[in-house]
Structure 1
Amino acid sequence: MSLFNHFTFIKKVRRCISQLASLCLLILFVGKVYGVDSLLADHKLKVPPKIPKVLLLGIDGLKPSAIPRVNTPVLDKLITDGFISPMLAEDTTWSGPCWATILYGVWRDRHGIYDNSFTGSKLQSIPDLFTHIETAKPVLHTARLTSWTGIRYNMPTAADEDLYWYYQEHQDTETVNKAKDILSTTDIDVLFVYFSMVDVKGHNHGFSADKPEYRQSIEKVDRQIGELLTRIQQRPKFADEDWLILAVPDHGGTIDGQHGKNRPEHRKAWLLASGHAVHHLRKGMNIPPSPVDIVPTILDHLGIDYAPGSLDGHSLLEAFPSYPVKLNKNTLKNGDAEYDRGNVQPFYLANYDNQVSGWLKGGKAVTRGYTAVNQIPLKYVQKGEQRQNAYLFTSLTKEPTTLAQHIDLQGLTTQQSKPLKVTLAADMWGRTADKNLSIKLFFNDAKGFAALRKNDQYAYFFRGDEYYQFDFNKDQVDDGYPADIVSNWPGLDQFKGGARNIDAAVNWGNGKAYFFKGDEYIRYDLKKDQADSGYPLKIKDHWSGLDTFSGGANAIDAAINWGNGITYFFKGDEYICFNMTSDRAAKGYPMFISNWTWSGLQVWPDRIDAAVRRNSIKSYLFKGGYYLRFDHVLNKTDDGFPKAISERSWAGLEQWYQSKHNTELTLNSYQSSARRFLTDTALPSQVESIDVHVNFSGQQQYVDNLSLILRN
């Protein structure tokens, strides 16, 4: 069953249940009238369903990383009653295309808006949220309250009330006052309230919680939302109403007050949903939402159908909650590229970097329609019926790009009495020449990786309870290694769990080195060759700003002293620039690993294993048995990387990764049509998670129907 047919089926089932309930009520009524109470004597009359209502809050320019750092008790309460999820905004992160996507439920390749000039807009022929509502149920009372000219004058609407107050004259005051009045005095059904001042303060002072003006504007909006919620709770019929509350920004931004570029700091957004209708998602969604999901979610809540293909998103009310990995099931999310509507315009006309649901994008990896790239759709048989795929994975650019997905296995592997087998399969084809198309699996355990530069000659590489000494002059690991950490690094055994599983290490350049593990760190005296007394200490208490990492100051992936008074810390898909002189993180961080910040490193968009500086102009970063070389002067990865660790590159260090047993599928020759690739391997012991990377080395390379299945 296709995804669309699946959702259509669910809608039909829900409608049938509703009709059946109505029939039962009718039978009960007839039974009462005609004195046949015994007709359904064993059934109790159900409470009539509550009346669905919607409050949509548009908070322009509120970036997701600011919310945990700002006092927002109202938003926090809404999250408790629902959920908040990361979301990716349009690739042209201007308010025009982003709000059009949110309010019309279609991606920008359909609505035609590229920036705030609205040139090429097709909105006159596309129904917005309120047009859908008023067409299907004109009796419903709807209102759109805004303070930005772009929405007011360039986005047609059928809302019963379309009111506007220019933000430079009124800020958000009149908008909020009118919203409170509508909630208190009318039988409103759907209300959209737009907040402008967070974006204004972001432009004027910087989109960062490090900026007090930006932070204060968020706190003010939180209080204003609280006033709206109070009015909702004071409504005379509140007990009979089922309120769905949604909050969303249009884009993020950077500390320089800018947005509009196709970079993670500008595209990273979020969606908050709260209310009984989304209680099933309080522990998270299996596939995170997208901006085009808002319109179908609201229509679904109101019981309004819409024409197939008229909207690009999915209703959150029918979304699957997060669930643990199961045996004999495909563990990959959106492995067939069919969850999103991929761009179907001819490839040479479409430089649209659309989102790919379920995957973290490292560069411009996208989904495209088969016809858009002149490929014949793959066919498959489902329940005896032949179907064909509509979309595939590919890359927009000649530069290396990656689609990454992290699969958590904790709880699954510990339940198994014997080793599991892993089957990776995919359809792959296209032009490769001297550049390969590959799908890699990185198996992650708790042993950790860390690298520490001692001086121009030596570096140390740590894994589990062992370490290696690498001689740069000889270009090889010295004899006698690996050796035990506990016997050769006095004091590291003070870590919780002992001298093993180091997360990261860095030479501070003053005779001291720092080791990080979990939420602790130890300072090590390199001259005395022992840990300083009084350690370990908590990272969050002594490394100002590292607590701004997602998840807090713990589980650092890598750290590298750049040799210029700056140390970079990596965690997940984020990094922080730490000023060694002021002893604190620079303002505006964390930022994201991308081609904007670490050119070439986008092939590893998250979870770097280790990093070490070679000299004043070159550094090395490592992941899963591979390494790349980064040039400090050119500020980019050297050509030809990543490369595999081997006897020719890091002699003796290949054992550092030996126990990981990574595996991959590789297409290294031209393949004009799809070919099925498959590999089976045993899951290494103690593996806690798997990173899946689809690596494109250029254009005209295609992947579809990925599956990763774990079996006994």
Structure 2
Amino acid sequence: MKLLLIGLDGVRIDLALPAVMDRVPGFAEPDHPADPRFAAEPVPAAQSPSAPAAEPAVDADPAAEPPSDPVAEPATAPTAPADPLAPTLARLVDGGAILPVWMTPPTDSGPGWASLLTGTTHEQNNVWWNEFVGHRLARTPDLLSQVFFGDPAARTFAASTWDALVSATSAGPVIHQRVDQQIGGQHQLFAATDFSRGCRSADQQVRTRAAWTLNHEGPDAAFVYFEGVDEAGHAHGSTGEEYRQAIRDVDEHTRYLVKAVSERYEQLGEEWLIAVVTDHGHKDEGGHGEDEVQVRRSFLALHAVGPDGAAERLRKQVADRSVLRSEHVTPLLLELIGVRPGTWQAGHEVGQLRDVPSVGPTRDLRYEW
């Protein structure tokens, strides 16, 4: 089975697919506490949800009789539920499964994707901010590299709007370069270059390249990343039409990729596992990085493209996985596509080095630059 992992940065699942919130209890509350260093600042009393609402001014005599009850209006028929913002994602989930994923703060993109794509914690990969200072990514191989290590004949592909995930000249990258495999065409990396309309044009460029490669070359494992929703959340917050439209846009990009691999199954019989994940949500006013529930809440949507019964087999495989953490995503995907990890384990005596401990920042402003 081949793998397509789609990363949608900054998507709030409660807005994209609100129906799953009631259907899947694990989306309600985080499964583990946050580090106090990355807690959100307290909400001012005037904005606190628990603050009592101001009483409206009343001019009438409180002793006066209430007005007579007018004739009751006829009850209106319930309106049909609005179409989901992400119909492609909804179709993937309806024909597959969705698992809650709770991110561990800091909920910035660098730490989030480093953990999701390598199957390691912040302490293991030492990525705490988007600057990637002091990272240990060379020692924590990404999902695509782990597929290659499992089978050196595997062909891998990654395309990203954010260069930190794939470009050798970035602060990262999270995805290993594996230059030898790039030279031979076995490992392809693509970073967007068209930012003429911000992430909207860059995402379209990534979609075009990824859809072609997936359809015509069918890599064994692929990761495709879109940033448009995160850009909209920072610029406009997550409650307005701009953010909602950005979700629609990346959902359409997702449809292109799903169509590309579905056609390969239709014509070549290749079975694919499609997975969709995000690294964080957004506060109502926009922004992330701390421990708010709507920011820490993520998801892993899974969908099997294959013969009759593939969906049911997938659901059985994940039936005992009620809630995940970010570092659980890569190991689960490897398990589902049948890739066995290597023998390396954290703490093995080979490769030990006395170094700066991976405990993260102290938050002491003298050392923040």
2:2 is the counterpart of 1:53? yes
Note the C-alpha offset of 1:171: 2.4
Structure 1 CA distance for aligned equivalents of residues 215 and 206 of structure 2: 14
Show the counterpart of 1:134: 148
The letter for the 1-side match of 2:149 is T
1:251-266 matches, within 5 Å, as 251-266=280-295
User: Residue 303 of structure 1: CA displacement?
Assistant: 2.7
Deviations 1:68-125 (A, max 9, x none): 3543221111101211222111210110010000111101110001111111201122
C-alpha contact 2:273 2:337 (8 A) present in aligned 1: no
1:193, distance to aligned residue in structure 2 (A): 0.7
Relative to structure 1, the CA distance from residue 160 to residue 167 in structure 2 (aligned partners, 3 Å threshold; closer, same or farther) is same
Contact 1:59 1:194 in 2 (8 A): yes
After TM superposition, which residue ranges in structure 1, 4 or more long, deviate above 6 angstroms?
A: none
SS at match of 2:302: strand
Q: Which residue of 54, 65, 75 maps to 2:89?
A: 75
Q: How far apart are 1:272 and its partner, in Å?
A: 0.8
Q: What percent of counterpart residues are identical?
A: 26
Match of 2:327 in 1: 292
User: For the structure 1 residues 289 and 278, does the alpha-carbon distance in structure 2 shift closer, same or farther, using more than 3 Å as the test?
Assistant: farther
How far does residue 285 in structure 1 lie from its aligned partner after superposition? 4.3
Question: Cα distance, 1:270 vs. partner?
Answer: 1.3
Q: Which amino acid in structure 1 is aligned with residue 274 of structure 2?
A: I
2:209 paired with 1:178: yes
**Cα distance, 1:57 vs. partner?**
0.5
Give the distance between the partners of 1:225 and 1:71, measured in 2 at CA: 13
Classify 1:278/1:293 alpha carbon distance in 2 versus 1 (closer, same or farther; 3 Å). Answer: farther
Q: Which amino acid aligns with 1:195?
A: F
2:253 to 202, 206, 224: 224
Paired letter, 1:90: T
Q: Conserved in 1, the CA contact under 8 Å of 2:12 and 2:282?
A: yes
Aligned partners of 1:74 and 1:225 also within 8 Å: yes
Aligned partner (choices 215, 218, 221) of residue 187 of structure 1:
218
CA distance in 2, matches of 1:296, 1:74: 25
1-side partners of 2:280 and 2:14: how far apart?
Answer: 12
| Amino acid of the structure 2 residue aligned with 1:297 | L
Alpha-carbon deviation of 1:238?
Answer: 4.8
Aligned amino acid, residue 225 of structure 1: T
Matches within 5 A, 1:239-254: 240-254=269-283
Q: How many Å apart are 1:349 and its aligned residue?
A: 8.4
CA separation of 1:156 and 1:59: change in aligned 2, threshold 3 A: closer
Matching residue of 1:211: 240
CA distance in 2, matches of 1:200, 1:249: 14
Alignment partner, residue 314 of structure 2: 278
CA distance in 1, matches of 2:343, 2:278: 27
The counterpart of 1:85, out of the listed 82, 92, 99, is 99
**Residues 100-499 of structure 1 mapped to structure 2, 5 A cutoff:** 100-152=114-166, 153=170, 154=172, 155-157=174-176, 158=178, 160-166=187-193, 168-169=195-196, 170-207=201-238, 210-235=239-264, 238=267, 240-275=269-304, 276=310, 278-280=314-316, 285-307=320-342, 310=345, 350=359
Range that drifts further, 250-259 or 284-293: 284-293
For 2:251 and 2:175, how far apart are their aligned partners in 1? 28
Q: Deviations over 1:448-470 (max 9, x none)?
A: xxxxxxxxxxxxxxxxxxxxxxx
Aligned AA for 1:296? P
Distance across 1 between alignment mates of 2:247 and 2:105: 24
- Give the RMSD, CA atoms, in angstroms: 2.5
Distance 1:238 1:300 in 2: 26
TM-score by length of 1: 0.35
- Inter-partner Cα distance in structure 2 for 1:239 and 1:299: 23
Contact 2:126 2:358 in 1 (8 A): no
1:304 is paired with a residue whose SS is coil
2: CA distance, partners of 1:173 / 1:131: 26
Runs of 5+ consecutive residues of structure 1 not aligned to the other structure: 1-51, 313-347, 353-712
Distance 2:147 2:99 in 1: 26
What CA distance in whole angstroms lies between the structure 2 residues aligned with 1:351 and 1:125? 17
Q: State the Cα distance separating 1:273 from its structure 2 match.
A: 1.1
1:105 touches 1:295 (CA, 8 Å); kept in 2? yes
Q: Which residue does the alignment assign to 1:648?
A: none
* Alignment partners' CA distance in 1, 2:259 and 2:94: 17
CA contact (8 A) 1:232 1:238 kept: no
Deviation at 1:281, TM superposition (A): 5.8
Distance 2:263 2:117 in 1: 28
Q: Classify 1:83/1:301 alpha carbon distance in 2 versus 1 (closer, same or farther; 3 Å).
A: closer
* Cα separation, 1, equivalents of 2:265 and 2:275: 22
Alpha-carbon distance in structure 1 between the residues aligned to 2:280 and 2:256: 25
**Are 1:59 and 1:247, in contact at CA under 8 Å, matched by a contact in 2?**
yes
The aligned amino acid for 2:325 is S
Paired positions, count: 263
- Of 14, 20, 38 in structure 2, the residue corresponding to residue 65 of structure 1 is 14
1: CA distance, partners of 2:342 / 2:86: 39
Give the letter for the 2:115 counterpart.
T
Q: Secondary structure at the match of 2:341?
A: coil
The structure in which a higher percent of residues are strand is 1
| Structure 2: stretches of 5+ with no match in the other structure | 19-83, 179-185, 305-309, 348-356, 362-369
Tell me the distance in 1 between the aligned counterparts of 2:342 and 2:214: 31
Q: d(CA) in 1 for partners of 2:266 and 2:360?
A: 50
User: Cα gap change, 1:194/1:234 in structure 2, threshold over 3 Å: closer, same or farther?
Assistant: same
Give distance in 1, aligned partners of 2:278 and 2:141.
Answer: 21
Per the TM alignment, residue 351 of structure 1 is displaced from its structure 2 partner at its CA by 7.5
> 1:241: Cα distance to partner?
2.0
1:423-474 alpha-carbon deviations (Å, 9 max, x no partner): xxxxxxxxxxxxxxxxxxxxxxxxxxxxxxxxxxxxxxxxxxxxxxxxxxxx
Greater Rg over alpha carbons, structure = 1
Structure 2 residue matching 1:54: 3-state secondary structure: strand
Separation in structure 2 between the aligned mates of residue 236 and residue 270 of structure 1, nearest angstrom: 26
- For residue 271 of structure 1, report the CA deviation from its aligned partner: 1.3
Which residue identity does 1:291 align to in structure 2?
A: S
Query: How far apart in 2 are the matches of 1:349 and 1:123?
Result: 12
- For residues 187-208 of structure 1, the C-alpha deviation after alignment (integer angstroms, 9 at most, x for no partner) is 321111101101000111112x
Instruction: Tell me the CA shift for residue 66 of structure 1.
Output: 1.0
SS of match in other structure, 2:331: helix
